[in-house]
Amino acid sequence: MQVNSEWKPTIVAFCCNWCSYAGADLSGTNRLSYPANVRIIRIPCSCRLNPMFILRAFQRGADGVILCGCHPGDCRYTTGNYYARRRMTLLFSMLDYLGIERARTRVEWVSAAEGAKFAATMNDFVQTVTALGENRRLEDLRCKA
């Protein structure tokens, strides 16, 4: 499927501090591998993810962005992941409209105990994005440097 076997997508993964970041740590502790082009940014809660951050990532050349948070009902801050889910639904639909395929964005619930799920999710996501190929970069027209 891949056009260029050398090319590797850049994946930004936003992980909430309490569940998914711990889940990512657990997949490390269990030595469950996933591709090295997944880079994690720690945020306190999935609801901290400002849509701007995702737009910025696509401006700077990210090929896929994934948000991981606590399972619905398990949010440390009670309702944060519900906010995140709603916001992302809207944002992803808008990105789709702008020409960033739906498969390049994803929300996944990973608990602190789901190291295996974290690794599997990342493997799957990288595969999906790799199949889509390089992303068109969004352009920031405000400050062309």
Partner 1 sequence: MQRIGVFVCWCGTNIAATVDVQAVSDALAKEPGVVLSANYQYMCSQTGQDLIETAIREHALTGVVICSCSPRMHEQTFRKTVARAGLNPYLLEIANIREQCSWIHKDRAQATEKAIILGRAAIAKVQLNTPLQAGQSPVTKRALVIGGGIAGIQTALDIAEAGFAVDIVEKQPTIGGKMTQLDKTFPTLDCAACILTPKMVDCAQNEKIRIFSYSEVEAVSGFVGSFRVTIRKKARYVREDVCTGCGLCTEKCPQKKVPNAFNLGLDTRRAIYIPFAQAVPKVAVIDADYCSMLKNGKCGVCAKVCAAGAIDYTQKDELVECEYGAIVAATGYNPIDLSGYDEFAYSRSPDVVSSLEFERLMNAAGPTGGTLLRPSDKTHPKTIVFVQCVGSRCSAEGKGKTYCSKICCMYTAKHAMLCREKYPDTDVYVFYIDVRTPGKNFDEFYRRAVEEYGVHYIKGMVGKVSPEGGKLKVQASDLLDGRQLHIDADMVVLAAAIEPDKSARPLATMLTASMDTNDFFTEAHPKLRPVESPTAGVFLSGCCQGPKDIPETVAQASAAASKVIGLLSKDSIVCNPCVAQPDELMCNGCSSCEKVCPYGAITYLDKEFRGPNRTTLLRRVAQVNPAVCQGCGACTVACPSGAMDLKGFSNRQIMAEVDAICR
Q: How far is the CB of 39 from partner 1 (least distance, A)?
A: 5
List the one residue from 2, 78, 89, 93 that touches partner 1 (CB under 8 A): 78
Provide the Cα torsion 42, 46, 50, 56; round to 10°: 50
Cα angle at 89 between 8 and 101, to 5 degrees?
35
Query: What's the token pair of residue 77?
Result: 């801050």
Among residues 34, 135, 138, the alpha carbon closest in space to that of 13 is found at 34
List the one residue from 3, 5, 31, 143 that touches partner 1 (CB under 8 A): 31
Q: Of the listed pieces 51-59, 93-101, 102-110, 124-132, which binds partner 1 according to CB under 8 A?
A: 51-59
Site for partner 1, residues 104 to 143, rule: CB under 8 A: 119
Instruction: Count residues near partner 1 (CB under 8 A).
Output: 44
Q: How far is the CB of 61 from partner 1 (least distance, A)?
A: 5
| Spatial distance between the Cα atoms of 13 and 64, rounded to a whole number of angstroms | 9
Q: How far is the CB of 68 from partner 1 (least distance, A)?
A: 12
Query: Which residue has 């997944």 as its token pair?
Result: 38
Q: How far is the CB of 25 from partner 1 (least distance, A)?
A: 4
Q: Please, are residues 73 and 60 in contact by the beta-carbon 8 Å criterion?
A: no
- E strand or H helix at 14: strand 11-16
Report the interface residues with partner 1, using CB under 8 A.
10, 12, 21-22, 24-25, 27-29, 31-34, 36-37, 39-45, 47-53, 56-57, 60-62, 73-74, 76-80, 83, 87, 119
